[in-house]
Amino acid sequence: MNKSIIILCTLLLIAGCNNNQNKAKRKPIAEVGKIVLYYDEIPNLIQHGINDADSVALIQNYINKWAKRQLVLQKAENNLSPSLRDEIAKQLEETRSNLVIYQYQRQMILEKLDTVLTDSELENYYAANENSFALTSNIVKALFIKVPLETPNLNKIRSLARSNDHNDLQQLESLCYQFAEKFDDFNEEWVPIDRLTVELQQNIENQENFLKRNTFFETSDSASVYLVSIRDYRLRSSLAPFEYVRDDIKRIIWNTRRFEFIQSLENGIYNDALKENQFKIY
């Protein structure tokens, strides 16, 4: 095995055990022109269980890729037209400026922006903007149960699933824990009715009529019985329940507050610069 590669691998192994090595003692691994690759810049490629030959191959492959990239980069830089170099410089400066501004805005938002949203604020926004919260799909509060076809007490499960009594639902949950392949109340939250069609593995042709006519639905296949108890529903184009759009309202208010904060920040910096004669228009 090439002696320099053995030394290289040894250096990298030592580096993995001593990440706090003084930068003044950095050891060069490869060089392309004036660009040097130091061993502490190489990712930790050596994993437990890999033999020495494979470790060396991984490291050498990384070095070769680094060298090729640097060589191509230097070749490109030496052969680009002046106009393209200027364009790249402008793009780099624009990118740097955007990144610096973004990070400063983010820092100020974390330090200064009020992120507390009260329930009354959310409810007031909902009440004032009801036209913005029309449903685009039919939604339900429902209970879904899937049980094997030969489940004992199936009639009992059917009866309990139709009930809204708390004790009945606790008993239902206990039976489903024993026998059901799936029992889901969707955390008692509103969900699109399409969630049910996925569970039922069949389409509901006219969802509006289905919801108007059914509070309980049952179907089966060769192996299972599917039970759906619909507790409540809202049809598309009607006003979405507050709970259903609560998180959307939070995002809307937060984004509005963030936008206004950034505008205020920029205007404040601009006005301060004018007062202090840091900015002039000729």
Q: Tell me: the pLDDT tens digits for 47-98?
A: 666 677 777 888 888 889 989 999 999 999 899 999 999 999 999 999 999 9
Label residues 50-62 b or e (16+ Cβ within 10 Å = b): eeeeebbebbeeb
Average pLDDT of every residue of the chain: 88
Kindly state whether residue 58 falls inside one of the protein's structural domains.
Answer: yes
Q: What's the domain range around 176?
A: 135-234
Contacts (Cβ under 8 Å, ≥6 apart) of 108: 261, 265
Q: Report the C-alpha gap between 148 and 220 in whole angstroms.
A: 9
CATH number for the domain including 148? 3.10.50
Give the model's pLDDT for residue 68: 94
Q: Per-residue DSSP letters for 110-135?
A: HHH------HHHHHHHHHHTGGG-B-
One domain, residues 202 and 245: no
Structural element, H or E, at residue 247 = helix 242-275
- Virtual CA dihedral for 121, 126, 128, 134, nearest 10 degrees? 170
One domain, residues 222 and 169: yes
Q: Report the C-alpha gap between 57 and 52 in whole angstroms.
A: 9
- The residue written with tokens 């033999």 in the block is 51
One domain, residues 186 and 223: yes
One domain, residues 217 and 247: no
Kindly state whether residue 253 falls inside one of the protein's structural domains.
Answer: yes
Kindly state whether residue 7 falls inside one of the protein's structural domains.
Answer: yes
One domain, residues 123 and 205: no
Kindly state whether residue 47 falls inside one of the protein's structural domains.
Answer: yes
Structural element, H or E, at residue 251 = helix 242-275
One domain, residues 226 and 170: yes
pLDDT digits (tens, 9 = 90+) for 193-231: 999 989 988 888 899 999 999 999 999 998 999 999 999
Kindly state whether residue 96 falls inside one of the protein's structural domains.
Answer: no
pTM: 0.71
Kindly state whether residue 61 falls inside one of the protein's structural domains.
Answer: yes
One domain, residues 226 and 244: no
Number of domains in the chain: 3
